[in-house]
Structure 1
């Protein structure tokens, strides 16, 4: 995987500053006000070891970046008419307590397709957008991929808890329930961000075998 970097803004009670978000699809890294943060989820970004103390510059909640708003844009591939096209996903994430929320908006083909205004995680927000897209247009991201799933019996976090089974494709194609996914769990390649996309992407089936534990995307996504 090749790292991607996205420019955006960080806002809190001390003001607004430019930010650079970098990801390899698994680990996130954020730099703002001269301090580096890293983590697997957008709500779990902690100061990188060896960096200057961040307590005076940021509001840390349980050691992680919190009580702030992040905004950024990222390129997002979509499949349409048998070809891959580049769209832009605008992200607004509020980590302010007690009610954090997420809003996503996809710009594609001269139109904008938004999620609900207060989504709880990237999976739900991207599913909302997929439902609003014109027929035949599909997001080409990990959440919409044929080889991704969440651990049975556990709820989804904000981001980053999506398991990738690209190393066990044939076995996952036959998975159609909680037990099948549990049997395959140790064969996962790793965890990925829901907005990530790789060259091994395949569209997720709409029903039946191959929909794993979480089901089709977006129809059965809870």
Structure 2
């Protein structure tokens, strides 16, 4: 069983980070397993975007990044990435998805006082946006899906028939379990106990925006998350 599914080669997304020092243009690298980004000479890496950890010693700079126990905070990260969608007339195509992630300030009761994400999907018929900022990529993508034109579908792990979350909860992104190698076993899952029974048989973990050849459109009421 693998820990995650990754892209054949790392994906590079031009990104803009805005913090107390202003705007900084960089590149967000996504392997499908981890995210990497360099901010004013400081390298950050993490399996989730709300946990980008400083790698090594901080760079000598007059504009140091804000950190919460070594994790990047107090900034906004914006980038665009391609996602797969199915259009009613043309079938599967790639469409740009704009992402705006806000990482708040350190807080006493949690890592930071705010994590929010907004999405905008660019389709030939126009732009579809989330109705409000969301705390998790799951909720943002589900919100986005509800606004898609009739006949348009998002082809990604979030909408796949073989993906689910652990009942105890999940992180911002990348904690979605995939059961593509145990399709029949997962199809039989009903509720929390059913998911626990097959959890150890998962193929690995995936990012919600990932897409693979085993994709099958999810139907309402499937698995634990419905």
Q: Per the alignment, in what secondary structure is the counterpart of residue 155 of structure 1? A: coil
CA deviations 1:76-135 (Å, max 9, x no partner) are 110123721111110001102333311111111141111133211111111111111111
Matching residue within 15, 25, 35 for 1:18 = 25
- Structure 1 pair 174/116, CA: closer, same or farther in 2 (3 Å)? same
- Aligned-pair distance for 1:35? 2.4
Number of residue pairs aligned between Structure 1 and Structure 2 = 209
TM normalised by structure 1 equals 0.88
In structure 2, the partner of 1:88 is 96
Matching residue within 172, 197, 204 for 1:158 = 172
User: Which sections of structure 1, spanning at least 5 residues, go unmatched?
Assistant: 216-222
Q: Does 1:188 align with 2:202?
A: yes
User: Which sections of structure 2, spanning at least 5 residues, go unmatched?
Assistant: 1-6, 106-112
Equivalence map 1:1-222=2 (5 Å): 1-2=7-8, 3-48=10-55, 51-54=56-59, 57-81=64-88, 83-97=91-105, 98-152=113-167, 154-207=168-221, 211-215=222-226
Rounded Cα–Cα distance in structure 1 between residues aligned with 2:164 and 2:37: 26
2:50, 2:115 within 8 Å by CA — same for their partners in 1? no
- Aligned-pair distance for 1:149? 0.6
Rounded Cα–Cα distance in structure 1 between residues aligned with 2:39 and 2:197: 42
TM normalised by structure 2 equals 0.86
Rounded Cα–Cα distance in structure 2 between residues aligned with 1:13 and 1:55: 17
Q: Per the alignment, in what secondary structure is the counterpart of residue 92 of structure 1? A: strand
Runs of at least 4 residues off by over 6 Å = none
Q: CA RMSD in A?
A: 1.7
Q: Per the alignment, in what secondary structure is the counterpart of residue 43 of structure 1? A: helix
Q: Per the alignment, in what secondary structure is the counterpart of residue 181 of structure 2? A: helix
Rounded Cα–Cα distance in structure 2 between residues aligned with 1:29 and 1:7: 12
